[in-house]
Amino acid sequence: MIEEVLDDAKARMGRAVEVLTRELGTIRTGRANPALVEHLRVEHYGTAMPLNQLASISIPEARLIVIQPWDRQALGPIERSILKSDLGLNPSNDGQAIRLAFPPLTEERRRELIKLVRRRIEEGRIAVRNVRRDCADELRKLEGEKKVSEDDYHRALEQLQKLTDRFIADVDRLGQAKEAEVMER
């Protein structure tokens, strides 16, 4: 029973870190990255679809994303969705593809992005701690129902804390890497 709770905690904490990784990938840095646009929702033929299902996304240069839709009718909706997004980029449409040029980030914009990264990191830590709390409650319930001994309960709490510490360290590492990437010129 304790192993099931700990395995569940490990899986849920892992998913929290995966979600954080995806969220950090959508934060713009000085470099072009397909993760910035691939999940943008595009309204096409009455359906909202992720951009990566409507077009191929390529990075020919470090500061340029080229979006080539499979259906030319999608150029307009893709362009509108990029303009509506919080990327702050102006798409260039040549009738065949959309180009997104990434200007260098200003120092002020870098500071704003660092704040955003830190907020997302804190949300990731909170998600991991919430999993710890839920699993600790489950363990407490098992101990209260006399399904596990008091010693086993305390050992399980220690293991749960070690697991939590490991995943929080992963979250912090992700945050430091993203902050360094944002500050890179």
- At 63-79, the pLDDT tens digits run 888 989 888 888 888 88
3: amino acid identity, one letter:
E
- Rounded Cα–Cα distance for residues 1 and 145 (Å): 12
Q: Report which DSSP code applies to 36.
A: G
Confidence class for position 171, pLDDT limits 50, 70, 90: very high
Q: Is the pLDDT of residue 30 over 80?
A: no
Between the CA of residue 113 and those of 30, 61, 138, what are the distances in Å?
A: 11, 22, 38
Helix (H) or strand (E) holding 50: strand 47-50
Q: Which residues contact 132 (CB under 8 A, 6 or more apart)?
A: 9, 13, 160, 161, 163, 164
31: nearest Cα among 66, 67, 68, 64: 64
Q: Is the pLDDT of residue 185 over 70?
A: no
Between 108 and 158, the more confident residue is: 158
CB-based contacts of 54-58 (< 8 A; 24+ apart in sequence): 54/78, 58/34
Between 23 and 158, the more confident residue is: 158
Given a contact cutoff of 8 angstroms between Cβ atoms, the answer to whether 74 and 42 are in contact is yes
- Rounded Cα–Cα distance for residues 172 and 118 (Å): 9
pLDDT of residue 142: 87
pLDDT of residue 137: 92
The CATH topology of domain 34-101 is: Gyrase A; domain 2 (3.30.1360)
Average per-residue pLDDT in the chain? Answer: 87
Every domain of the chain and the residues it spans: 2-25+106-183, 34-101
Per-residue pLDDT, averaged over 134-163, amounts to 90
Confidence class for position 168, pLDDT limits 50, 70, 90: very high
Percentage of the chain beyond pLDDT 70 is 98
Residue 179 exposed, middle or buried by CB count within 10 Å (0-12, 13-18, 19+) = middle
Q: Is the Cα torsion angle 52, 82, 67, 22 positive or negative in sign?
A: negative
Query: The tokens 């990029």 sit on which residue?
Result: 82
CA dihedral 137, 139, 140, 146 (to 10 degrees): 150
Q: Is the pLDDT of residue 22 over 80?
A: yes
Per-residue pLDDT, averaged over 151-162, amounts to 92
pLDDT of residue 130: 95
Superfamily of the domain at 2-25+106-183? Ribosome-recycling factor (1.10.132.20)
Per-residue pLDDT, averaged over 141-155, amounts to 88
Per-residue pLDDT, averaged over 75-104, amounts to 84
